[in-house]
Structure 1
């Protein structure tokens, strides 16, 4: 059995698509190439890993395309659109990561696993949608979409208005045994988009539901179940900050569980942005007091693992 440290990496939207480029598959592929160079560096540093990615912009566009073409072909259910996003994003990552590893003479297989995530039908998130998906709109455009299509729209961290859908908590990774069997000699791209949300019925059957599970919570659950040493959440910023965007903004190098809980209670972190990342990090170190979570940017990931930057979250 290998003794290499285990890490679960959660990729934020900026690791898949640039806000400065067109929302096309070709533009996404260019961003993913850069992302996979950084992931390959971590693999070459001796880490065993799994990769979890978001899908908010992508699943939103797939849903929009399906609804726009409804007069030509029947629209796909939301869970099917999530599965489609899981497949094509995973394809891009595994293709680029395989190449990045090959350039470094590192022969590690990379596979994408279509992953279902059990949620509870009674989860209160279904009554209070918060997960942003799809494109950004002006307030006027958002108001029109809410009136015409019945979408729930919400302002997203000063960047514009987006459609929001339910984001229930992940309860069980259906394919976890497959991930565990593949772990030691394969990099698995799994729980993409937080996993395809499904509910379990009394007879054991599963059926999809309209939701997007937060990929940070999905990555946390995965990290627990593969006994990861590190949960790494990659986002746009190098460190977590309190009083974000204000003259007295303070970047944080380290957070204890108690400090993180206090800052959450004080409302320092945005609901659709930093809050789920901090909460997922807290959940992981609460479950594994001897381990740590790191929140940092993609380009600083290896430096953060070496203790040079990032926000490290520990139990105490």
Structure 2
């Protein structure tokens, strides 16, 4: 049976920074992702995890427009985005590989409702704004805003994933060599109560969920595809330089932004320490990254 690769697609890779959040823009990037995933699926059993930061933020804005009804919570909006992006990915992957079965699975992931991120939000969602726009939105909607590169974006709680509740279904689909789109948007955050599971107001970081999935599947490779072509040191300065190979110990010496590259570095370091090989690279160069001709490779 083929080895397993978990491929994580960033929400910013599916809707580039500064792009208008239109269906057409997202579809164009998803078509690029579908080609990359199809190439990988020739050699691996593939589980695809995708981000949803721009998309869930757009849903939240649309949600606010209907003032007659209280806004839906973030876990429900996350499920909506998981279905939307999962449908688009499944359709485009199958258009590239009509002989392969592709399944999108809405995936619940258990989190701690008292996770420290509930008090210190760091997960970027939604569009990018200038300082003036961000200030108006923050005041009007009681949002927390933080700088994301040259822009400002909304941040929300991002509790760490603890357990993939629907993993058994993922196992069955991968055993049948289906391409599985799961843990979308990091998965739907839920917690245990005395009366079963209930949703948690937050958005799980998809890179941490992808790592948890890769570990629970005993995957061979973890590939994080984003809008950056590698892990960079001194990003945004005249001295910026790409790392092509690194160990978790080497990466631990540097500070990476908590809302962007930080979770990716944490995720790949965790998986590499677990014994696998992990990669970070650009969406359009997926197979090249996996072949270690592009991007950053992290291993012990």
**Per the shorter chain, which TM-score range?**
over 0.9
**1:76 shift after superposition:** 2.1
Aligned residues: 299
Structure 1 residues 172-201: Cα deviation after superposition (integer angstroms, max 9, x where no partner):
111001101111321110000000111111
Deviates more, 1:11-20 or 1:184-193: 11-20
Structure 1 residues 24-56: Cα deviation after superposition (integer angstroms, max 9, x where no partner):
223312221121011111112x11110000001
Q: Structure 2: how far apart are the matches of 1:112 and 1:24?
A: 22
- The residue number in structure 1 matching 2:226 is 235
- The residue number in structure 1 matching 2:85 is 89
Does residue 195 (structure 1) correspond to residue 187 (structure 2)? The answer is: yes
- The residue number in structure 2 matching 1:22 is 20
Aligned partner of 2:39 among 35, 38, 41 = 41
Where in structure 1 are there 5+ consecutive unaligned residues?
none
Runs of 4+ aligned residues of structure 1 deviating over 3 Å after TM superposition are: 18-21
**1:166 shift after superposition:** 0.2
Deviates more, 1:21-30 or 1:121-130: 21-30
**1:7 shift after superposition:** 0.4
Q: Structure 2: how far apart are the matches of 1:301 and 1:22?
A: 24
Q: Structure 2: how far apart are the matches of 1:36 and 1:221?
A: 23
Q: Structure 1: how far apart are the matches of 2:28 and 2:129?
A: 24
Q: Structure 1: how far apart are the matches of 2:232 and 2:273?
A: 21
Give the aligned CA root-mean-square deviation in angstroms: 1.4
- The residue number in structure 2 matching 1:171 is 162
**1:142 shift after superposition:** 1.4
**1:117 shift after superposition:** 0.8
Does residue 123 (structure 1) correspond to residue 115 (structure 2)? The answer is: yes
Deviates more, 1:208-217 or 1:237-246: 237-246
- The residue number in structure 2 matching 1:215 is 206
The 5-angstrom pairing of residues 249-264 of structure 1 reads 249-263=240-254
Where in structure 2 are there 5+ consecutive unaligned residues?
none
Q: Structure 2: how far apart are the matches of 1:168 and 1:202?
A: 20
SS state at 2:252 partner: helix
**1:13 shift after superposition:** 2.4
Does residue 138 (structure 1) correspond to residue 139 (structure 2)? The answer is: no
Structure 1 residues 96-130: Cα deviation after superposition (integer angstroms, max 9, x where no partner):
0000112xxxx221010010111001211100011
- The residue number in structure 1 matching 2:55 is 58
Aligned partner of 1:80 among 76, 94, 105 = 76
Cα distance change, pair 27–309 in 1 and its aligned pair in 2 (3 A)? closer
Does residue 68 (structure 1) correspond to residue 65 (structure 2)? The answer is: yes
SS state at 1:286 partner: helix
Aligned partner of 1:7 among 5, 9, 16 = 5
Is contact 2:245–2:298 with CA below 8 Å preserved after alignment? yes
